Chains A and B, each alone.
Chain A
Amino acid sequence: DSGVTQTPKHLITATGQRVTLRCSPRSGDLSVYWYQQSLDQGLQFLIQYYNGEERAKGNILERFSAQQFPDLHSELNLSSLELGDSALYFCASSVSPGGSYEQYFGPGTRLTVT
């Protein structure tokens, strides 16, 4: 167990809908990262938050957004869902920049868009 929690574990929804994925980092970790894992794209970085502020952005679609709350949990919002958004979504956490490099992954949310 990495100490990173994600909910829900599974999500099945229809095209055009909106969903919210939730992540709680390890205790003390200030950075949260979101990654998407699909069969043909591998693990792709989406976005990083550090202590409530957006720190880095990857190839995240405009239909996707995220935020980190004062208690450091993070939410990833996916809207106008398409079939191609079906994937495993992982969040990872690490300590503040200048501290440990290691990123620890949560168990993931499997999103299926039908």
Chain B
Amino acid sequence: GENVEQHPSTLSVQEGDSAVIKCTYSDSASNYFPWYKQELGKRPQLIIDIRSNVGEKKDQRIAVTLNKTAKHFSLHITETQPEDSAVYFCAASIGNAGNMLTFGGGTRLMVKP
């Protein structure tokens, strides 16, 4: 089955700096890659996603890039703010819409004011 690895497990940045989280996946059939943000004790919240026919997607301060050849994708957060502090999860899904998500292990991002 699919395996998703995520790095780093923790990331500390100064407010205003950029943060980058990287994920690799194992199954070349994966075609959907969402990112979730989870604050302590709360539900994972979808923040951005990308499909395999697109190389990059941006939404205000966050962007995701996908390299299908290398089977990796990354989350970029610019101009970080203290409220960006949370655990971020990448995930991958195989096949048509409606398939299960395989999650990476998570990255705890801490933005220091």
Q: Which residues of A are interface residues toward B (Cβ below 8 A)?
A: 2, 31, 33, 35, 42-45, 48, 50, 55-56, 58, 90, 94-108
Contact = CB atoms under 8 A, between A and B. Distances in A.
Interface string B22-37: 0000000000101010
B98 A90 contact: no
Contacts of A56: 99-100
Interface in B40-63: 42-46, 49, 51
Interface stretch (B12-20, B72-80, B102-110): B102-110
A52 to B, nearest CB: 14
A77 B103 CA distance: 23
Interface residues of B, number: 24
Given A42-B103, A42-B106, A43-B89, A105 B97 contact: no
Contacts of A98: 96-98
Nearest to B105: A42
Contact of B32 (A101, A105, A106, A108): A101
B51 A101 contact: yes
B93 interface: yes
Contacts of B97: 94-101
B101 interface: yes
Given A48-B100, A94-B98, A105 B45 contact: yes
Given A43-B44, A107-B42, A108-B43, A102 B49 contact: yes
Contact of B46 (A43, A44, A55, A102): A102
Given A42-B103, A97-B98, A99-B97, 6 more contacts: A45-B103, A94-B98, A99-B98, A101-B98, A102-B46, A103-B46
B59 to A, nearest CB: 13
B103 A43 contact: yes
Nearest to A98: B97
